Amino acid sequence: MILVTGSSGFVGSAVCRELELRGSSVLRAVRRHAEPNDAAVVVGDINSKTEWTEALKRVYAVVHLAARVHQMRDTADDPLEEFRRVNVEGTRRLAEEAVRTGVKRFVFLSSIKVNGEMTDGVGPFTETDLPHPVDAYGISKWETEQILREIGRRTGMEVVILRLPLIYGPGVKANFLKLIQHIERRLPLPFGRIQNQRSLLGLRNLVDLICCCIEHPSAAGEIFLASDGDDVSTPELVRRIARALGKPVRLLPVPVWMMGLCGRVTGKSDQLRRLCGSLQIDSLKVRQVLSWTPPYSMSEELARVAAWRAECLTSGMRRTPVHR
């Protein structure tokens, strides 16, 4: 049995579907039942007091996806403390209970934010780089990694850590969805002069990698960075999304310094920094150690995103009342 936390989320639901298609028995850990489901167990909120006994019965592997995610506008009084409560202490509790019940392998989704925010002028991030998390989310992921590795060394439970860049696919949210929506509306975008390189990872590629990490003997005790292996600039990403959507796109040649000024004025410096800066990943280790390569190209994944958006828009039109 494989326990998947965060099973109703963007990544978790795709992981559960694929594992079941491959013949694995999957138990979904959920905060609360939306409907009766024999393959789900309610664990409530994840923190240092979560009760995992029922969820971990007969489980040999855990895929831990649940987390307090990065917040663009965090309203918590102490964001780092809130991230630690869920991501650090909640994961510590799960890992310790997993050891107690005899779980063999623990796959943890971390973030490339553990390495840092940008690779401008320094080359792609690798697993051997000195971690340099900047924000509260990245710090919480780094602290969690250290706890898991210590538990693994002390107990023998096989911990696998995946540090990931932006994940995209059908159901994507946040800034990637906003970019799609801007392109759908045919709005001009001020990205024409950006010269950067960014690594991304398609959802199906991530799911395939997680499945590999659950079973591959050489994954035990390792940290892996992974991407599609097809780094793109922001304007090139916009063009590829537009091509997949079948939409024209107009990229305005706005100077990057002017965008930075606008970001400071509007309070959106962080978003614009990510759009303008580079963040590249070197995936050589995962390819060599696990003999894993992304099974799907960025074009294939963006085509799936476009099909999902078309379905969303069609469904939205069907639900819209007609006023006569």
Which residues are known catalytic residues?
Answer: 137
Distance CA 281, CA 114 (A): 12
CA dist 229 and 188 (Å) reads 28
H-run or E-run covering 105: strand 105-111
DSSP string, 267-315: T-HHHHHHHHS-B-B--HHHHHHH----SS-HHHHHHHHHHHHHHHHHH
3-state secondary structure of 51: coil
Which tokens in the block code for residue 162?
């995946």
Q: In Å, what is the CA distance from 294 to each residue of 38, 203, 211, 281, 287?
A: 33, 10, 12, 14, 9
Beta strands at 2-5 and 40-42: parallel, antiparallel or unpaired: unpaired
Rounded CA separation 81/67 (Å): 14
Q: Are the beta carbons of 112 and 279 closer than 8 angstroms?
A: yes
Q: Are 137 and 113 in contact (CB under 8 A)?
A: yes
Cα distances from 66 to residues 13, 122, 141, 191, in angstroms, run 12, 31, 12, 33
- Determine the Cα–Cα distance for residues 43 and 59; give it in Å rounded to an integer: 15
User: Do 263 and 273 meet the contact criterion of CB atoms below 8 Å apart?
Assistant: yes
**322 token code pair:** 């007609």
